[in-house]
Amino acid sequence: MKNTPRSNRFHIAIFGKRNSGKSSLINALTNQDIAIVSDVLGTTADPVFKTIEILPLGPCVLIDTAGLDDVGILGELRVSKSLSVLNKADIAIIVVDASTGIDRFDEEIIRKVKDKGLPGIIVAHKTDLANEIRVHSVDFKVVNVSSKTKEGIEKLKKELGKIAATEDKFEIVGDLIDPSDVVVLVTPIDSAAPKGRIILPQQQVLRDILDSDGIGLVTKEFELEKTLESLKNKPKMVITDSQAFGMVSKIVPEDIPLTSFSILFARHKGDLEELVRGAKSIDSLKDDDKVLIAEGCTHHRQADDIGTVKIPRWLTKSTGKSIIFDYYSGHGFPENIKDYQLIVHCGACMLNRKEVLHRINQAKEKEIPIVNYGVLIAYVHGIFERALDLFPNVKTIYEE
Ligand code: SF4
């Protein structure tokens, strides 16, 4: 469980006013002293992310946020950072002092959680100190909790578990295969491959195949022909690293479906339809148009880096236009996204689905086409049609 990537964990954001006891609630939920508990107002500054396993939920990320009633210029900044957590949360817990009840700060966050369409739970906290529980809500379920005596903690976990169980599950490949189907994975081991392991998306696809009782065969692109020859029956599909798609598509017979890890993840983590629309807009790029290359984290760059070297090279070559490229990595998008004619986003392996969808929606609201690396690679290399064969609904958008 410890190795579950953060992007795959259930994200629980904990909101409340300063000293409502958010940190002591986290410690009680996890049975550990992982959050600093203090009587000094505003101990939590920036949101703090803790990966943890909570039964019956499984692997989670608890997000401890700054007090919603924080004051001053810095306080306002901390509140706005706290609110940005809503873009990646799967559920919000709103912690309210049981004896004082819900006030305008709590009401405001309840409204924001509802506007986002997120499920929420209100914790009437510090019940050990309250003569009377004054927390009532028609919006979300209220659970009475004392982090000191642990009263209500198990109930809170149960309620979280119930909500987690109703969350939609977005499979990677499991819905495309049947038990005992053979799926061949092509993973180039070149100078860009990390030493001693295969990269996270490839590990996750393999795990999804095993979870679906399928049979996963992993091979390099140079061994693919022999791998296919060694099979008695045709595999259900071949999934390749996007960058080897050109070579792999020549080896895999037309009657065997072929797609890429990136296309699968574009569907699993985001909105494949919107990304396909974004890819189609590449053909409309003109000289001096601006393209934003956005990455989810700052990572070690290789000499032939995909974001800063390969994608600009491929886009320039395929459009024949003189395009201006800007680069941005980390949280969200820059303020000036309206200046761009296209956003090209990385594969977002470190981001959860909620955050990827939030970014796609930001682009949609501003009417800026957005595509990701994998979908763009398939498009500029002319292998889009084949890579989308497995997804007829999405292919229609491409053919419109
Ligand atoms: S795909 Fe994006 S989030 Fe993942 S390592 Fe690369 S830049 Fe970071």
Question: CATH code at 74?
Answer: 3.40.50.300
**Cα separation, 392 vs 48, whole angstroms:** 42
Domain identity same for 212 and 94? no
Atom of ligand 1 nearest to the CA of 349: 4
**Share of residues in the chain with pLDDT > 70 (%):** 94
What is the token pair recorded at 255?
Answer: 């009657």
Encode pLDDT of 106-121 as tens digits: 999 999 999 999 999 9
Does the C-beta of 295 come closer than 6 Å to ligand 1?
yes
Domain's final residue, options 104, 138, 166:
166
Atom of ligand 1 nearest to the CA of 351: 3
**Cα separation, 101 vs 278, whole angstroms:** 47
Distance 352 CA to ligand 1 centre (A): 12
Domain's final residue, options 236, 263, 290:
263
395 — pLDDT class (breaks 50, 70, 90): confident
Higher pLDDT, 299 or 77: 77
Least confident of 11-20, 162-171, 291-300: 162-171
Distance 345 CA to ligand 1 centre (A): 9
Domain identity same for 71 and 145? yes
Residue range(s) defining the domain that contains residue 189: 176-263
pLDDT score at 32: 75
Instruction: Decide if 1 is inside a domain.
Output: no
User: Would you say 282 and 376 are in contact if contact means Cβ atoms under 8 Å apart?
Assistant: yes
Instruction: Decide if 201 is inside a domain.
Output: yes
Q: What is the helix, strand, coil percentage profile of the chain, to 5?
A: 40, 20, 40
Instruction: Decide if 230 is inside a domain.
Output: yes
Length of the chain: 400
Domain's final residue, options 135, 166, 197:
166
Q: How many domains does the chain have?
A: 3
Distance 129 CA to ligand 1 centre (A): 46
CATH classification at residue 248 = 3.40.50.11420
Instruction: Decide if 105 is inside a domain.
Output: yes
- Site of tokens 């990595």: 329
User: Would you say 302 and 267 are in contact if contact means Cβ atoms under 8 Å apart?
Assistant: no
Distance 201 CA to ligand 1 centre (A): 11
Peptide bond into 56 cis (omega under 30): yes
49 bridge partner residues? 63
Determine which residue's CA is closest to atom 8 belonging to ligand 1.
297
C-alpha distances in Å from residue 187, one per residue of 63, 203, 298, 349, 372? 34, 10, 24, 16, 19
Distance 289 CA to ligand 1 centre (A): 25
Determine which residue's CA is closest to atom 4 belonging to ligand 1.
349
Domain identity same for 315 and 384? yes
Residue 323's nearest CA partner among 361, 380, 362, 381 is 380
186 bridge partner residues? 219, 240
CATH classification at residue 381 = 3.40.50.11410
Q: With a cut of 70, say whether residue 2 has pLDDT above it.
A: no
- Site of tokens 């092509």: 186
Encode pLDDT of 125-150 as tens digits: 999 999 889 999 999 999 999 999 99
Domain identity same for 181 and 240? yes
DSSP assignment of 51-84? EEEETTTEEEEEEE---TT--HHHHHHHHHHHHH
Instruction: Decide if 143 is inside a domain.
Output: yes
